[in-house]
């Protein structure tokens, strides 16, 4: 099964010049979604991790399915002002603007080993911000995975430059 068949490109979304990969067809197909989680689990098993951190918002989908499959804990890295308790926060730039991520300060045990997960690696800014957020909060990030890597945008190199071990289920 070629998962790229379930990840069509959408031109000029969310703004002109951006090529968006739609995960909806993959999620709508039980066999494709199941296969994606199996592949992500194979990638995750290369890391000695205790918890996944899913990055808002589509990272929650793959993170929750993988956490269930692998029997690991899942923590949500959310956009600002969506968590009820005190948070750690990191701002970052996107290919189409700026944003920030937060995690609740009381969420992870002190000795947690974190594996980051999101749906797509594009420019890498979100993964780098999540890594900085967790490191500044005192946690060890042992790697990052995603469903899809858009190779031409330089995200993999940015992660490498920031000492983040990364792999993707599918690469374009």
Q: What is the pLDDT of residues 59-100, one digit of tens each?
A: 999 999 999 999 999 999 999 999 999 999 999 876 667 889
pLDDT at 144 over 80: yes
Its sign, for the CA torsion 39, 168, 95, 63, is: positive
Q: What is the pLDDT of residues 119-139, one digit of tens each?
A: 999 989 999 999 999 999 999
Assess whether 149 carries a catalytic annotation: no
Mean pLDDT for the chain? 95
The pLDDT of 99-121, averaged and rounded, is 95
pTM of the prediction?
0.95
Residue 96 CA to residue 161 CA, distance in Å, equals: 22
52 DSSP β-pair partners: 74, 115
Assess whether 21 carries a catalytic annotation: no
Name the fold adopted by 47-171: Rossmann fold (3.40.50)
Residue 141 CA to residue 150 CA, distance in Å, equals: 22
Q: What is the pLDDT of residue 37?
A: 98
- 28, 46, 95, 149: which one is catalytic? 95
- 58, 89, 90, 149: which one is catalytic? 58
Q: What is the pLDDT of residues 7-38, one digit of tens each?
A: 999 999 988 988 889 999 999 999 999 999 99
Residue 104 CA to residue 72 CA, distance in Å, equals: 18
Domain map (residue ranges) of the chain: 47-171
Q: Which are the contacts of 66, defined by CB distance < 8 A and separation ≥ 6?
A: 37, 40, 41, 44, 52, 72, 117
Q: Which are the contacts of 92, defined by CB distance < 8 A and separation ≥ 6?
A: 98, 99, 100, 101, 125, 126, 128, 129, 132
């Amino acid at each position: 099964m070629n998962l790229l068949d379930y990840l069509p490109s959408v031109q000029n979304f969310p703004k002109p010049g951006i090529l968006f990969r739609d995960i909806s067809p993959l999620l709508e197909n039980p066999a494709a979604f199941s296969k994606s989680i199996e592949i992500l689990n194979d990638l995750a098993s290369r890391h000695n991790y205790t918890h996944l951190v899913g990055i808002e918002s589509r990272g929650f989908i793959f993170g929750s399915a993988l956490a269930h499959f692998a029997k690991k804990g899942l923590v949500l890295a959310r956009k600002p002002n969506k968590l009820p308790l005190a948070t750690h926060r990191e701002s970052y730039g996107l290919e189409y603007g700026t944003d920030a991520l937060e995690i609740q300060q009381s969420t992870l045990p002190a000795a947690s080993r974190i594996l980051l997960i999101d749906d797509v690696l594009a420019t890498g800014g979100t993964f780098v911000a999540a890594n900085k957020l967790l490191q500044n909060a005192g946690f060890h990030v042992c790697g990052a995975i995603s469903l899809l890597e858009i190779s031409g945008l330089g995200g993999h190199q940015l992660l490498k430059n920031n000492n983040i071990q990364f792999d993707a289920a599918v690469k374009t």
